[in-house]
Amino acid sequence: MTEHVTEIDTLVVGAGQAGIAMSEHLSRLGIPHLVLEKRRIAEAWRSGRWDSLVANGPAWHDRFPGMTFPGYAPDSFVAKEDVADYFVAYAEKFHAPVRTGVDVTRATRLVGRPGFRIETSQGVIEARRIVAATGPFQQPIIPAIAPRGPGFHQIHSADYRNPQQLPEGGVLVVGAGSSGVQIADALIVTGK
């Protein structure tokens, strides 16, 4: 029995902001491509972050070309669910070739010719090019210097969802980037 192999010029792995933007550019250039996403489009925005997350920049800055965030003023900071819905709407606007629910399990160079063999949960794909659009923050890092042990509750922003999951008492937020500032604000609002 012969293995069925799908062939495509470019395979984009990940259908978040970078993957959808890449697909839009490839579409404009007429380059045949496919976008694979292991869950839903922009899933990290929906389930991989805290409840009160908003975009790091104002709507006028964080939008895709030719499409504003519906229901938001240009200087507003868009809520995470609306960001995810926006990515879906943008992908639909230019008919992005996205396949959701597909895990990429392995990618290897083809032997004797250019390109790659990509093994997925739904079969094999051969592509001349691969774009990894899986996001930069996949592995939480807790420095070795951070104290550990009983009586000390520590949580990384990747696992934080809302103030209710934290025990009684004071909270120290380490880091003043977008995540740290937004989480600290949510904690202050709830009296932590």
Range with the largest mean pLDDT of 23-27, 62-66, 153-157: 23-27
Q: What is the reported pLDDT for 138?
A: 65
Q: What is the reported pLDDT for 93?
A: 94
* Pick from 87, 88, 125, 84: nearest CA to 104: 125
Please name every residue paired with 98 in a beta bridge, in sequence order, or none if there are none: 35
Q: What is the reported pLDDT for 95?
A: 95
How does residue 158 score in pLDDT terms, banded at 50, 70 and 90? confident
| pLDDT tens by residue, 18-41 | 999 999 999 999 999 999 999 999
Burial of 80 (0-12, 13-18, 19+ CB in 10 A): buried
Tell me what the mean pLDDT of segment 78-92 comes to: 95
Question: What percent of the chain has pLDDT above 90?
Answer: 57
Tell me if residue 24 falls in helix, strand or coil: helix
| pLDDT tens by residue, 100-149 | 999 999 999 999 999 999 999 999 999 999 999 987 666 777 778 777 77
pTM above 0.75, yes or no: yes
User: Using CA atoms, how far apart are residues 163 and 42, in angstroms rounded to an integer?
Assistant: 24
User: Using CA atoms, how far apart are residues 145 and 62, in angstroms rounded to an integer?
Assistant: 35
